[in-house]
Amino acid sequence: MRSSNPPEHSDEAFGVGNPARKSVRLPGIKSRMLQFEMSHHPRADLVALRMIALFEAFKGILVLAVGTGLLTLLHRDVQKAAEQVILHLHLDPARHVPLIFLTLAAKINDSTLMLLAAGALVYSIVRLLEAYGLWNARPWAEWLGVLTGGFYLFIEVYELAQRATLLRFSFFAVNLAIVVYLGWTLRRKKAASG
């Protein structure tokens, strides 16, 4: 039988034993014990998963659009199209980034475009499947997010080591946050189930 005044330093007082609800009772406060709740709210988890799902869907749709755009360049002069883009954006063709863009455009042929478009399609399918699974809180999608996100972390660390920019650091930070959150969610679910 449980007493009305829980012991101040017992496991029960500190919420040990129930992984879904952890509370800390501060000793010395008699009438109303102050509690700090550290509970896991399934609704908050679902909201976080759905935010990540929307982000992954956005990436998938964006890369699918780029891949489709690459297909529109089939049987066309890619270098001329690249020059038109640079002029339209009022960029100096002699600058570093536009020069790289023009150099790559000169080397691209139809088979390379098809290969890039196929890679974009595969990437988009993976991102959209992950988005679907995360939206519906499927564990396989969480695992997929941890694995693919973890793979990209290595690439992003390499890119940061080559040349650190705010944009590269932002991509790294967002990806790291997603991987850590999904990993934490998987670990918490495993601990709760067994």
Q: pLDDT tens-digit profile of 11-30?
A: 444 344 444 444 445 455 44
134-181 pLDDT per residue, tens: 999 999 999 999 999 999 999 999 999 999 999 999 999 999 999 999
Q: What is the pLDDT of residue 189?
A: 85
How confident is residue 50, by pLDDT bands cut at 50, 70 and 90?
very high
Report the amino acid identity of residue 41. Answer: H
Q: What is the pLDDT of residue 40?
A: 56
Domain boundaries, the chain: 1-39, 42-73+110-193, 79-107
For the entire predicted model, the pTM comes to 0.69
SS3 of the chain: the string is CCCCCCCCCCCCCCCCCCCCCCEEECCCCCCCCCEEECCCCHHHHHHHHHHHHHHHHHHHHHHHHHHHHHHCCCCCCHHHHHHHHHHHCCCCCCCHHHHHHHHHHHHCCHHHHHHHHHHHHHHHHHHHHHHHHHHCCCHHHHHHHHHHHHHHHHHHHHHHHHCCCHHHHHHHHHHHHHHHHHHHHHHHHHHHHC
**Residue 190 Cα distances to 57, 149, 154, 164, 184, angstroms:** 26, 20, 26, 37, 10
> Which long-range contacts does 77-84 make (Cβ < 8 Å, 24+ apart)?
78/105, 78/106, 78/108, 78/113, 79/105, 79/106, 81/105
**Residue 14, pLDDT score:** 39
Count of other CB atoms within 10 angstroms of residue 19: 13
Residue 120: partners with Cβ closer than 8 Å, 6 or more residues away: 63, 64, 66, 67, 70
pLDDT digits (tens, 9 = 90+) for 91-140: 888 888 888 888 888 888 999 999 999 999 999 999 999 999 999 999 99
Provide the residue type at 47 as one letter.
V
